[in-house]
């Protein structure tokens, strides 16, 4: 009877090749998992920045609304005309010109109103401006409309970098 068992010398290379193939498969699997983790971390960081910027913009928006509520009798309608783009108050935008909130210079210096918050999570303090829109006729009776003054509040908030920013706008009846 003849034996089919091969000598250990002829099988010694096979286990090495199988081990190397398994090592390559496990390494590529590990690299794929690490890449997925890196992407998830970037997404989470971006979401944190967006949320932080949104919260800062909302704080600036609420501050502007509270300023209008508290100072309705102090800020006269004509103050928007006399402000000359100073201190965050802007008159009505003439047709054909760009609105103040679209201009980069609005968001620096005296062009907007700075809101002081804890900047540990923010690249910059949030800011806001108030633009006069005009007077509008409103009311249930169109024959005797009630005149209301409308302003637009634009607020900007920043996340942990200046590139992550959120801008909010709201029309306010005054």
Residue 85 has pLDDT above 60, yes or no: no
Residue 85 included in any domain:
yes
Question: How much is the pLDDT for 114?
Answer: 87
What mean pLDDT do residues 161-166 have?
86
Residue 80 included in any domain:
yes
Residue 3 included in any domain:
no
Residue 128 included in any domain:
yes
The count of structural domains within the chain is 1
Residue 109 has pLDDT above 90, yes or no: no
Does the pTM exceed 0.95?
Answer: no
What mean pLDDT do residues 159-166 have?
86
What mean pLDDT do residues 55-63 have?
93
Least confident of 38-47, 134-143, 163-172: 134-143
Residue 8 included in any domain:
no
Which stretch of DSSP H or E encloses residue 157?
A: strand 146-158
d(CA 55, CA 171): 19
Q: Residue 81: CB partners within 8 Å, gap ≥ 6?
A: 91, 132
Residue 127 included in any domain:
yes
């Amino acid at each position: 009877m003849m034996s089919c068992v091969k000598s250990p010398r002829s099988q010694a290379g096979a286990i090495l090749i199988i081990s190397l193939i398994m090592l390559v498969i496990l390494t590529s699997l590990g690299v794929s998992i690490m890449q997925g983790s890196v992407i998830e971390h970037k997404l989470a960081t971006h979401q944190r920045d967006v949320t932080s910027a949104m919260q800062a913009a909302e704080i600036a928006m609420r501050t502007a609304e509270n300023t209008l509520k508290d100072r309705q009798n102090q800020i006269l309608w004509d103050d928007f005309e006399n402000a000359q783009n100073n201190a965050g108050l802007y008159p009505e935008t003439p047709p054909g010109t760009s609105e103040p909130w679209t201009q980069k210079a609005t968001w620096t210096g005296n062009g907007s109103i700075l809101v002081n918050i804890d900047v540990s999570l923010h690249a910059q303090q949030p800011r806001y401006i108030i633009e006069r829109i005009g007077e509008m006729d409103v009311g249930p009776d169109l024959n005797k409309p009630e005149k209301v003054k409308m302003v637009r509040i634009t607020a900007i908030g920043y996340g942990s970098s200046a590139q992550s920013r959120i801008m909010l706008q709201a029309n306010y009846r005054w």
